Each structure stands twice: as C-alpha cells, then as structure tokens.
Amino acid sequence: MIEFPHKITPDEVLAGMRPAHVYANLSDQQHRHLVDALHRQWRVAARAVTVLLSASAMPATQIAALLHYDPHTVRRWIARHDVEGVTGLPDRPRLGSPRLGQRIRALLATPKAWTTCSRRSASGKNSKTAAT
C-alpha cells in the first residue's frame, strides 16, 4: 500500500489542479481481451495491467506509483483503451529512419565481392592444381 506524507482529515478540503479520478469501464469481453494481452509483448502487457487496475477502481496516481509511470501516462493509456480498445495499446509506428537491425540484416544478406568464395577459386585456380 502506498502511504503519503500528508493525511487528510475529514473536515479538510484540498483544491488542486489534478483531474478527478478516471476509472476504466470494461465489458466482460474487453476484460478477457486485456487478460490475453498480458501474455503478449511486455509493453502491451504493462498497459493492459494499467487498464485492469483502473477497472478495479485503483486511482491513476496509485497505478503510476506502482508501475513507475507518470500519472499523465497512465491516464493516457486508459483513455486510449476507452477509445480504441486493446488494439490501441501497442506502440504506434514512429517517424524517423528505419531501425538499425533491419538495415544490418539487409547488408548481411547481400554478398560482397569476396565473401562467397576464396580468392584462389575466384581466380580460376583450383586447390589441387595449386598444391602440385
């Protein structure tokens, strides 16, 4: 359980800039989809946990503290799930140059001048004639 340094007394009213608590509303089917998402990529799973915790009435600030996220990020994932469902939880395509891994794979797949045969076989000499 998360403890805060300031305890609120019943007669105390706090006015702040924080938005009111936002909780996810899930149908049974949406709940099943989110639980299935827990077994996918870790980022999607973490976002699914965020929505599931929200659906169980945990405030975004507590979810953020539990998962080490910013509360704004937690609210954004809850809102995105409310609009798009589970399909909104994976990362969106990003702008910029392609990932280095794809370029390296393409370079490795393209044979260069001396990578497929030895210089001796490329010159037309066979290993038996060179030895004699």
pTM score, whole prediction: 0.49
Report which of 85, 100, 87, 82 is spatially closest to residue 25, judged by C-alpha positions.
82
Name residue, tokens 């045969």: 117
pLDDT of residue 103: 73
pLDDT of residue 16: 56
pLDDT of residue 44: 87
CA angle, residues 11, 16, 19, in degrees to nearest 5: 115
Phi and psi at residue 44, to the nearest 5°: -65, -40
Q: Both tokens of residue 70?
A: 């910013």
Query: Rounded to an integer, what distance in angstroms lies between the CA atom of residue 105 and that of residue 21?
Result: 47
pLDDT in tens, the chain (132 residues): 455 555 555 555 555 556 667 778 888 898 888 878 776 788 888 999 999 999 999 999 999 998 888 999 999 999 999 999 999 998 888 787 766 677 787 777 777 766 555 666 666 666 555 555
Query: Rounded to an integer, what distance in angstroms lies between the CA atom of residue 36 and that of residue 29?
Result: 11
